[in-house]
Amino acid sequence: MKKRIGLMGGTFDPIHLAHLHIAEESRQAFSLAEVLFIPAAQPPHKQGRKIASAKQRIKMVELAIAGNPAFTLNLLEMRRQGPSYSWLTVQELHERLGAEAELYFITGSDSINDLPTWNHAKDLVAACHFIGAARPEVPFDEKLLLDSFGQELRQHIHELQIPRMEISSTLIRQRVAGGKSIRYLVPEKVADYIQKEGLYQ
């Protein structure tokens, strides 16, 4: 049986408890041996928005995942020049991990419906599985997925039902900027780091 590896990509500006919750639920539901947290160097969809430095975002991920032996920081996208396209990341991971690894890309149901617009979308879905954390108000667009990928590749896209957490990086940044507490929204060490670095003020 192939070793199943989860991929948790994102800007992580900052990483928060919902990221960790989705990763852990995915690990259990799909028997993932490991979940790689892959901070994006240049997120294609965040061009033009000021984000925390690569060093700061890496540190926050390190602090957040410490203590879970199944969670690993991966700097593949940080070391690569240009936009952080998931297709390039999956290609590179296949080359590094070999044929014995089966990749599971973890994201939200809203991102699943955007999949057809991703760089090399069809090749990407053929090269790995997708786990979409379900949101009741954003169901999978079945017609769109079937029209875009066909019946065979649609089998690579899985829905994960999990307890809902209304947390986003945008919410965290807004609360910090407004002088509000982010305790219990991010890991304690991440909250301390954000305060120490004066992020999102």
pLDDT tens digit sequence for 63-116 = 999 999 999 999 999 998 888 899 999 999 999 999 899 999 999 888 999 999
What local confidence, expressed as pLDDT, does residue 49 receive? 73
What local confidence, expressed as pLDDT, does residue 94 receive? 96
Distance of CA 26 to the CA centre of its chain: 11
What local confidence, expressed as pLDDT, does residue 58 receive? 97
What local confidence, expressed as pLDDT, does residue 76 receive? 96
Phi-psi region of 134 (alpha: psi -120 to 50; beta: other; left: phi over 0): beta
Residue 109: which of 17, 22, 49, 20 has the closest Cα? 22
Cβ pair 34, 6 in contact under 8 A:
yes
* Beta strands, E only, the chain: 3-10, 34-39, 71-73, 101-108, 129-133, 157-160
Say whether pTM exceeds 0.85.
Answer: yes
What local confidence, expressed as pLDDT, does residue 48 receive? 61
CA triple 135-20-120, angle to 5 deg = 65
What local confidence, expressed as pLDDT, does residue 83 receive? 84
Cβ pair 124, 118 in contact under 8 A:
yes
Residues of the chain with pLDDT under 50: none
